[in-house]
Every structure is written in structure tokens, then in C-alpha cells.
């Protein structure tokens, strides 16, 4: 229920931000850069609304994910399993990327502040007194930075939840790989081998259920991030080519672009980890001493090895596979679109 409450609060705040940016678009005293910046933020915040609505629609699957994590086969404890989870789930990669993204967004929003006591600040609603025309720059900066920190931190909540689930899936696949490598194939007790092997088959089935629910829960959320990233990259390219920017303004749009690509890269990296670990299961099973086992057991093992040859691939909206190749494709297409626009404006 806490996930629903926080998502609903962020959705309300984001809708308010969209209204604020839309009202800002109607302000006739803006220059071209301010107008295009508002367009950029309207697009960005609109996709945030879509992202949270997609999460609220499929958020009921979170309870199913918790049920799978509470299953006995996943709750078995061992020192090796603890070390694997400590290394994978508590990896520093995601916190570092998340911190970089939050810092980039806050800096980008702060750089857009044009300090000056004589500047009239447009507020979304009428207020009492002369606050609208006499806002002290210092308080405006504090408000801008505080609001940016709040909205950015809440914006990554779904990303934190999804990436933690994906890291748990990666760690569980590593545990399965370790279990298969340590099966005592030299033991000629067929019943003992079958019981040990059945536990790993059940574990693999639970992993498939778990990853399938992750895709079902976050597929359209990730698709929203990819589509918004592609559109924002195009808008940033048009702004850079069409408008004469200062160094600070150009750096602002670069940070915004880097923040969007950082978010996409995180999902692609975790998706790549799941895919590569699932492929390693078949390879690691073949590299063991399976030939020392009983013939009946070898038949069971070969059937399992044929099944795990199919990699586990998470997809965004059932279209885009989450892997490094997709990230490279997005970067390549963004650069191609930028060069086409650059050539178009040169010829014009």
C-alpha cells in the first residue's frame, strides 16, 4: 500500500507541475529559449504522469512478487547464497548511477535560474500582495533546488523498485548456477541426485515466474522511459542547433540529456545481467562432471540443459529487449537524428 500512496502523491505533484509549465507556455513575455525549455519540461513531466499511471495499473503484481520471494525454495539460507546476494543486490553500481542522475537533474534545473531582483517571476496561481513581482532571488533558488530534489528523488522510486527486483533475479540465477556446478555427480545414488536436481528445477521455475512478473509489472513503465528519452533527445538537438546558447545553457541541456540516457542505461545494464546469467546456466551445467552420473540422471540433465538454452530476456512494452545492444541502438539513432537535423539547418 505504501508504494501506491507514494506513487499517487508523486502523480498529483507531477500533474501540478505539468499545469504550471503549460501556464508558463502562455506567458507572452518569454524569449525563445524559455519557451523551448518549457516545451521540454512539459514533454518530460507528461511522460512522468504516463509512467506513474502505468505503474498504478500493474502495481498489484508487486504483491505477487513478494509472494514468490517468500517461497521456501527462495528462502533457503546458505553462506554462499548470502555472499552472492551481498555482492549482487547490494552492488554500488545502481546507487552511483542514481546519485549521478539526481545530481545532474538538480544542477540542470539550478543553472536555469536567472537571478535578479528586477525580474518578474511567473507563478502558476495568483497570490496575495506583491509577491509575484518582488520575489527575493535567494528564496527562489532555495525553492527551486528543494523542489527539484523532491520531485527527482520521488521520480526514481519506481526505478529503485524495478532495479532491485532485477538485481534479485540476477542474484538468484547466480545461486542456481552455483548449485548446478556443485551437484555431486559422482554419487551413484540416483534418488539423492534426483531430489537435489529437483530443487534446482523448482528454483528455475520460480525464477521464470519472477522475471515474467517483473516484465509484466514494469514493461510499459520502461517503455515510457525509452520513448520519452528518444523524444527529449530530439528536442535537445533542435534547441542546440536552432538557438544560440551560452556555455551555461548548453551545459544545462547536456546534463538533461545525460540524465535521460543514464536512466535508460541502468535498465539496459540490469536486463543484460539477467540475460547473460541465464545463458551461463546451460554452459556451466555442461562444464560439470555430468558424465560421471547415472545414465537416467544424464537424460534428465540434458532435458533441463535444452530448456535453459533459451535466455531470459526482459522487454520494454514487449518490443525492446533490455540489453546493451538496445542502449547502443538508442545512442546511434539519437546521433543519426542529430546529424540529419544539423545538415537540414545547414542547407536551409
Q: How many domains does the chain have?
A: 1
Alpha-carbon distance of 39 to 36, in angstroms, equals 5
pTM of this structure: 0.77
Q: Which pLDDT score, from 0 to 100, does residue 211 have?
A: 93
pLDDT greater than 90 at residue 83: no
d(CA 146, CA 231): 27
Any idea what the Cα angle at residue 111 is, between residues 268 and 32, rounded to 5°? 95
Of 161, 165, 169, the residue nearest 206 (C-alpha):
169
Give dist(CA 79, CA 179) in Å, integer: 13
Q: What span, in angstroms and rounded, lies between the C-alpha atoms of 205 and 130?
A: 65
Nearest CA among 39, 46, 40, 43 for reference residue 15: 46
Q: Which residue has the higher pLDDT, 136 or 17?
A: 17
With a cut of 50, say whether residue 127 has pLDDT above it: no
Confidence of residue 122 (pLDDT cuts 50, 70, 90): very low
> Which residues, in sequence order, are CB contacts of 74 under 8 Å at separation 6+?
68, 172, 203, 206
> Over the stretch 128-187, which tens digit does the pLDDT of each residue have?
444 444 455 556 666 666 666 666 666 677 888 888 889 999 999 999 998 888 888 777
pLDDT in tens, 197-249: 888 899 999 999 999 999 988 888 888 888 888 777 777 777 777 667 677 66
User: Is the pLDDT reported for residue 106 higher than 70?
Assistant: no
The pLDDT, as a whole number, for residue 115 is 42
What pLDDT is attached to residue 212?
A: 92
- Tens of pLDDT, residues 263-274: 888 889 999 999
Domain span holding position 311: 2-347
Amino acid at each position: 500500500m505504501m508504494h501506491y500512496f507514494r506513487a499517487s502523491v508523486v502523480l498529483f505533484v507531477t500533474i501540478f507541475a505539468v499545469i504550471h509549465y503549460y501556464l508558463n507556455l502562455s506567458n507572452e513575455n518569454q524569449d525563445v529559449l524559455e519557451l523551448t525549455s518549457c516545451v521540454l519540461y512539459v514533454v518530460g513531466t507528461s511522460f512522468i504522469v504516463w509512467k506513474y499511471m502505468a505503474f498504478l495499473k500493474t502495481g498489484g503484481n508487486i504483491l505477487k512478487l513478494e509472494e514468490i520471494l517468500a517461497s521456501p525454495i527462495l528462502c533457503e539460507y546458505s553462506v554462499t547464497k548470502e555472499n552472492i546476494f551481498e555482492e549482487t543486490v547490494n552492488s554500488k553500481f545502481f546507487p552511483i548511477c542514481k546519485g549521478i542522475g539526481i545530481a545532474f537533474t538538480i544542477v540542470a534545473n539550478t543553472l536555469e535560474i536567472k537571478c535578479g531582483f528586477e525580474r518578474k517571476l511567473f507563478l502558476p496561481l495568483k497570490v496575495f500582495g506583491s509577491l509575484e513581482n518582488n520575489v527575493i532571488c535567494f528564496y527562489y533558488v532555495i525553492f527551486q533546488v528543494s523542489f527539484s530534489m523532491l520531485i527527482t528523488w520521488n521520480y526514481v522510486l519506481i526505478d529503485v523498485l524495478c532495479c532491485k527486483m532485477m538485481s534479485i533475479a540476477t542474484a538468484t540465477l547466480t545461486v542456481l548456477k552455483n548449485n548446478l556446478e556443485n551437484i555431486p555427480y559422482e554419487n551413484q545414488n540416483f534418488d539423492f541426485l534426483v531430489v537435489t536436481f529437483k530443487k534446482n528445477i523448482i528454483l528455475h521455475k520460480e525464477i521464470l515466474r519472477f522475471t515474467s512478473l517483473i516484465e509484466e509489472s514494469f514493461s510499459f513503465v520502461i517503455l515510457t522511459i525509452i520513448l520519452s528519452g528518444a523524444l527529449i533527445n530530439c528536442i535537445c538537438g533542435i534547441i542546440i542547433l536552432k538557438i544560440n546558447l551560452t556555455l551555461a545553457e548548453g551545459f544545462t541541456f547536456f546534463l538533461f540529456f545525460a540524465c535521460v540516457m543514464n536512466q535508460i542505461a541502468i535498465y539496459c545494464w540490469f536486463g543484460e545481467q539477467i540475460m547473460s546469467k541465464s545463458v551461463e546456466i546451460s554452459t556451466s551445467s555442461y562444464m560439470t562432471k555430468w558424465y560421471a552420473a547415472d545414465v537416467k540422471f544424464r537424460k534428465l540433465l540434458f532435458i533441463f540443459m535444452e530448456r535453459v538454452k533459451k535466455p531470459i530476456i526482459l522487454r520494454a512494452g514487449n518490443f525492446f529487449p533490455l540489453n546493451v545492444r538496445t542502449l547502443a541502438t538508442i545512442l546511434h539513432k539519437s546521433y543519426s537524428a542529430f546529424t540529419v537535423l544539423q545538415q537540414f539547418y545547414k542547407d536551409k
